[in-house]
Amino acid sequence: MDTVTPKTCYGLGPNHVVMGTQQYALDVESIRADFPVLDRQVGGDVTTPGPGEGDDTPLVYLDNAATSHTPEPVVESIADFYRTYNANVHRGIHHLSQEASVAYEEAHDRVAEFVGADGREEIVFTKNTTESENLVAYAWGLAALGPEDNVVMTQMEHHASLVTWQQIGKKTGAEVRYVELDDDGTLDMDDAAAKIDDDTAMVSVLHVSNTLGTVNPVEALTELAHDHDAYAFVDGAQAVPHMPVDVGEIGCDFYAFSGHKMCGPTGIGVLYGKEAILDEMQPYLYGGEMIRSVTYEDSEWEELPWKFEAGTPVIAQGIGLHAAVDYLEEIGMDRVHDHESALASYAYDRLTEWDDVTVYGPPGEERAGLVAFNLDSVHAHDLSSILNEYGVAIRAGDHCTQPLHDELGAPASARASFYIYNTREEIDALVDAVDEARQLFA
């Protein structure tokens, strides 16, 4: 039942490790050893999982904003649960159920500590960030919002936030407003101050844009919301995996993120909510596990956070998320941030060397660890297909930010996103492959 932790201390403090001619704030070589998938050769038959006949190109995985890979210690923690104490939680007196219940509850405690929450009561496990957004929108929004209210978002919102509050606005009559962007892809804070007013009930914003790489001033936006007695919801799907996050310092009322973007398993997300607010909210889903007592006439809900986790919860995923948090903290979130920032800045500088490449968002030193770009006269899907021939895996499309792409005047973009195991040599491979596409379409 013990959580598996990394065997090596991957953060090197002031002593940077050298790989080839490049210096890193992390021991990237040791980290990469925990991710066997990074040794894959790609090509060959893509109709069946795993290595296929004809695979001969080294994988360069630069699609981490979509999902990160899962290190061996996390995989082992999940396998250990299934092998040795697999049981349902909170329902059995027998030994395995007790072990599983303790591990699942400790996972809540560990995640609470990781993001600066006051305790497990403020940590609800969902299946992803999208479900966390919907939980608040339906459990709070349907009851609290009306035609006299407004919800304020930004033009860079992911569909998980934008579509959810848009549709809740249609159901309740609440107005939905969008804070505009400056030319460099950052928020126009004067516009934010104008749009957040005394009729605002919720301000829902991204911490980090998954398209622009913009790091939003969530503390200032939370303060603006609270100045007008509104709640603040922060979508941290692209922040928690990549930088230190403390919800207490931010001051927000809700914060959401996903496990699969931070070395954890798929199928688990987290909703942080202030205990007093969660306590007042009615459940979003009903059924087993979330009840204290039931009669034919009525039901009473379980205590936090369980009243929001109906049915058999995400037990193995929660245990895996616990291991992922341990893994990242062993590395050090400051070092994770520094490493990715250096990679993003390097990628930005390399890609902006060409006049026929457009890079979206703020300058390299001011962005998070991703770069979205377009090559003139080449659709992002075509560019991604060419890069795939060189083993370079990126994302192509609107990245679930279709309205933002409309604002950018681009139907889609190519996005390279970085994580703890990526290197400058891999960015060089990306740039070389883009250059091959430039020559092909010249």
The answer to whether the bond into 217 is cis (omega within 30° of 0) is: no
∠ CA 338-341-346, rounded to 5°? 125
- 263 tagged catalytic: no
- What sign for the dihedral angle of Cα 399, 403, 409, 411? positive
- Name, in order, each residue with C-beta under 8 angstroms of 78's C-beta and a sequence gap of 6 or more: 265, 316, 317, 319, 320, 323
Active-site residue identified among 9, 252, 263, 400: 400
- 304: nearest Cα among 120, 160, 61, 441: 120
Q: Are 62 and 418 in contact (CB under 8 A)?
A: yes
- Distances in Å between the Cα of 246 and the Cα atoms of 115, 243, 251, 254 are 5, 10, 9, 12
**Tokens matching residue 414:** 């190519």
Give the dihedral of Cα atoms 268, 110, 138, 294; nearest 10 deg: 100
Q: List the catalytic residues.
A: 400
